[in-house]
Amino acid sequence: MNVNKANEGMNDSNIAHTSITPPSATGELLVILGHAPHGSSLLREGLDMALVAAAFGRRVSLLFMGQGCWALQPGQGEGALGQKGTQSTLEMLEMYDIDNIMVEAESLERLGLESSDLVLSVSVVDAASVQQAIASHTLVMNF
Amino acid sequence: MASTEIARYLEVGQQRVALDPEGYLVDLTQWTPEVAEALAVEDGLTLTSDHWEVIDVLRNFYQRFEQAPAMRPLVKAVGQQLGADKGSSIFLMRLFPESPAKVGARLAGLPKPTNCL
């Protein structure tokens, strides 16, 4: 991908409204979270996958996209069917040394969320950085 | 995940404490320090002040994050709360032999750690 070359100057004005931070490090596992907390168990399963890998010493990155960004909205408590809340799990990620947490800028904007309102400090990334993150991890799992 | 299947009961004073097939509490609210002592006896352990400090760290972890920690985060939490010299797997292995995360969670009245094989 020639994403770096294409960015010389002309794209700066397009992206000025979001804070774009490129993913800091490559890692072994990238877990992509694309589902909201309680519509399915996919968010929880993705987080569990990330925690298991981290518990075994793998370097894990997370990428929230689409509806998955709702997980970062404060107050994601217990679900109507008694499912565990995901906010406490997100707060626990740092204890598992999972600190490369990315959110796709366009998804955030579409959901009307601000990165400053989220429960974690995250890197807001553009589409090119998403591609780069997917390419730079050995294993990518999509939930 | 806390199991709801009752395999047996542990008698602690007047209290009857239900245990699941792996020896974890079925009703986590039944935990008391006396329960921890009784569970430790089953494991052939004598609880020292070092054990109690780690049990405290485990219970704080569960209260804050609603999950029992696997080994790595337990080491990190112990290091943060009790000092770097105790935040090591060797220190924890000595206190809770074989699997500190599992044995510790059992004695601390937490569910079995899910992310820990």
- pTM equals 0.82
- Name the 3-class secondary structure at B62: helix
Q: Are residues B56 and B103 in the same domain?
A: yes
Average pLDDT over residues B83-106: 94
Count: domains in chain B: 2
pLDDT of B58 above 90: yes
pLDDT of residue A22: 46
- Report percent pLDDT > 90 for chain A: 64
Residues of B in contact with A57 (CB under 8 A): 72
B39 in contact with A, Cβ within 8 Å: no
- Domain containing residue B83: 49-107
Q: Are residues B29 and B64 in the same domain?
A: no
Cα A97 from Cα B76, distance rounded (Å): 9
Cα B117 from Cα B112, distance rounded (Å): 10
The answer to whether B116 is a known catalytic residue is yes
The identity of residue B112, as a single letter, is K
pLDDT of residue A20: 47
Distance from CA of B4 to the nearest CA of A (A): 15
- Report percent pLDDT > 70 for chain A: 82
Q: Are residues B71 and B38 in the same domain?
A: no
Q: What is the CATH number of the domain that holds B81?
A: 1.10.10.370
Cα B82 from Cα A118, distance rounded (Å): 30
In order of A37, A51, A57, B72, B114, the CA distances from A45 in angstroms are 10, 10, 19, 20, 12
Q: Could you tell me if residue B82 is inside a domain?
A: yes
Q: Which three-class secondary structure string do you get for A93-142? A: HHHHCCCEEEEEHHHHHHCCCCHHHCCCCCEEECHHHHHHHHHHCCEEEE
The identity of residue B88, as a single letter, is S
pLDDT of residue B115: 66
pLDDT of residue A93: 95
What are the residues whose beta carbons fall under 8 Å from the beta carbon of A116, sequence distance 6 or more?
A: none
B73 in contact with A, Cβ within 8 Å: yes
pLDDT band at residue A26 under the 50/70/90 scheme: low
How many residue contacts between A and B have a Cβ separation below 8 Å? 39
Per domain, the residue ranges of chain A are 22-76+83-142
Q: Could you tell me if residue B2 is inside a domain?
A: no
pLDDT of residue B34: 96
Q: Could you tell me if residue B93 is inside a domain?
A: yes
Q: What is the CATH number of the domain that holds B12?
A: 3.30.1420
Q: Are residues B31 and B57 in the same domain?
A: no
- Per the CB < 8 Å rule, is A92 touching B67? yes
Q: Which residue has the higher pLDDT, B91 or A39?
A: B91
B94 in contact with A, Cβ within 8 Å: no
Give residue for tokens 């109507």.
A80
With CA atoms as reference, report the closest residue to A85 among B95, B112, B6, B66. B66
Q: Are residues B32 and B69 in the same domain?
A: no
pLDDT of residue B3: 72
Most confident of A2-6, A20-24, B12-16: B12-16
Q: Is CATH 3.40.190.10 the classification given to domain A22-76+83-142? A: no
